[in-house]
Structure 1
Amino acid sequence: MYHIAVSFDVPADRRDEFIAAALEDGRDSHAGEPGTLRFELITDADNPNRFYLNEAYTDKAAFDLHCEGPYFAKFFAIIEDFAEGPTWLIQGTTVDDNA
């Protein structure tokens, strides 16, 4: 499984707009992209205007497909003028214990 986690900082007056755009991206990606396994929006415990996207895909190819898709493009078109990010936190493949 391929995982990514990124953070975004948003102005307080655009917080609701960011949340709506991120949740729509997550719903649409999960419904319309078979390789999207998880799409979570998390708010920071100490900073209510910092958000994390925690996502999982079947593999890197599924993530790349997501990045080329319409939901990703729409999300970034909405937030590009006000959100700072994404700041990459993790990007990689699950290490399984096959013992």
Structure 2
Amino acid sequence: MYHIAVSWDVQPERVKEFIAAALKDGREAGAAEEGTLRFELIADPENQNRFYLNEAYADEAAFDAHAAGEFFKEFFAEVGPYSEISWLFKGTTVTE
């Protein structure tokens, strides 16, 4: 399984919009993309303007397909002007 985690710092006046856009992206990707396994939006308990996305995909190719897809592009186009992303990690589950 392939995992990614990112943090987003969002302008305070746009937090509700960000939450709606992130949840929409997760719902639509989960319903339409076979390799999208998990999409979690997590609020930072110490910073009300910071959110984390914890996502899991069948494999790296499934993530690449998601990143090339319409839901991903729409999400970034919408939230890009009022938020800043930091990639925390990308990687494959170790089983042995």
Report the TM-score when normalising by structure 1.
0.95
Q: Which residue of 1 aligns with 2:95?
A: 96
Matched residue count: 96
Secondary structure at the residue paired with 1:96? coil
- Give matches, 1:79-90, under 5 Å: 79-85=79-85, 87-90=86-89
Q: Which residue of 2 aligns with 1:64?
A: 64
Aligned partner of 1:4: which letter? I
More helix as a share of residues: 2
Shift of 1:45: 1.0
Runs of 4+ in 1 over 2 A off after TM superposition: none
Stretches of structure 1 that go unaligned for 5 or more consecutive residues are none
**Aligned equivalents of 2:66, 2:11: Cα separation in 1:** 26
Over residues 15-45 of structure 1, what are the superposed CA-to-partner deviations in whole Å (9 max), with x where a residue is unaligned? Answer: 0000000000000000000000000000101
Secondary structure at the residue paired with 2:82? coil
Over residues 27-64 of structure 1, what are the superposed CA-to-partner deviations in whole Å (9 max), with x where a residue is unaligned? Answer: 00000000000000001010011000000000000000
CA RMSD for the aligned pairs?
0.6
**Aligned equivalents of 2:38, 2:83: Cα separation in 1:** 22
Stretches of structure 2 that go unaligned for 5 or more consecutive residues are none
